[in-house]
Structure formats: C-alpha cells, structure tokens
C-alpha cells in the first residue's frame, strides 16, 4: 500500500462524485496504512459550501483525538484550497499527498510554512478529470473556488 495505491482510492472518490453529477475531487484519510475516512466534493449533491472533498473525508472519519491525527496522511486529488488547508492545520495532519496542483494551486505555501510535509504526484488522471469537468461546467467550478 503506497502513495500510488491511496491516490487511486482518492480518484475512485472523485469518479463517484462525477457519476453523481458533482465536482470530481476525492480524498482519503489514512492512519498507519489503513483508510479511516473517504469523501468527495458535495457542492452539487448536497448544496454544500463546506463539504469539499477533504472536509467530507475528515467528516466521514469522525471525531478523532489529536493523537490519532498525528499518525495520519490525507490524500487529495487536487491541491487543497485555503479552507481544506486550514482544516489540515487545525487537526495537525502532518502529511498531505496531492494528485495535482496544475489546475488549481491551493494554500500549499501556508501548509509548508506551518511544517506540513507535501508530496505532489502530478497525476495525469487527476488533471484530466478536472480539465474535462471545467470545460463542461466552468460556472460550477468558479463557484467552488469563489472566483
């Protein structure tokens, strides 16, 4: 079970979101090699402005202690926006694996400043999912990142 496997699981979540008519971004929370949370963007499905993929993933993982989060890595198909970056900082998750940051660059600078370890995989399937989606639904994507 390596970064590539866990990213494939985050991509599965992104595809679930797409199949539901939503924005194809997925996320997985892994603790000591086990998936303990998974989620995808819920803007369309639940008219949610806070359930970005990473947030939805953290919510499904449930209430954990600070000690639990210290052993976690969060995987996300797209660079985490300021809100999701902030959630990662609140819960002091030490490592983030990012599918791609070519389509959108989140608040990686702030995460790095605060000592979070970032790995960017430059995964082409993640890029393609977003590029195809943005071509189809530009307004929805702009709403999701508030531009």
Least separation in angstroms between residue 124's CB and its own copies is 26
Options 69, 75, 133, 141; binder of its own copies; rule CB under 8 A: 69
* Tokens (6 digits) for 81: 């926006």
Distance of CA 128 to the CA centre of its chain: 16
| Cα-based distances in Å from 7 to 69, 88, 103, 118 | 19, 17, 17, 14
Distance from C-alpha of 73 to C-alpha of 75, rounded to nearest angstrom:
7
Least separation in angstroms between residue 17's CB and its own copies is 16
Our finding on whether 43 is near its own copies (CB under 8 A) is yes
Options 5, 21, 50, 112; binder of its own copies; rule CB under 8 A: 50
Our finding on whether 55 is near its own copies (CB under 8 A) is yes
φ, ψ (nearest 5 deg) of residue 75: -105, 135
Give bridge partners of residue 117 from the DSSP assignment.
Answer: 95
Our finding on whether 115 is near its own copies (CB under 8 A) is no
Interacting residues toward its own copies by CB under 8 A = 43, 47-51, 55, 58-59, 61-66, 69, 81-87, 89-92, 107, 110, 142-143, 145-147
């Amino acid at each position: 079970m390596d970064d590539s496997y866990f990213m494939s699981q985050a991509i599965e979540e992104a595809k679930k979101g797409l199949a539901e008519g939503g924005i194809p971004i997925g996320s997985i929370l892994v603790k000591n090699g086990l998936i303990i949370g998974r989620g995808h963007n819920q803007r369309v499905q639940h008219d949610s402005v806070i359930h970005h993929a990473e947030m939805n993933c953290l919510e499904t993982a449930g209430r954990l202690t600070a000690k639990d989060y210290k052993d976690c890595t969060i995987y996300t198909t797209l660079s985490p926006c300021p809100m999701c970056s902030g959630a990662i900082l609140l819960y002091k998750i030490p490592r983030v694996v990012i599918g791609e940051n070519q389509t959108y660059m989140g608040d990686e600078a702030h995460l790095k400043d605060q000592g979070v370890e970032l790995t960017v995989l430059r995964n082409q399937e993640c890029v393609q999912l977003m590029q195809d989606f943005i071509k189809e639904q530009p307004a929805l994507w702009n709403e999701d990142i508030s531009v």
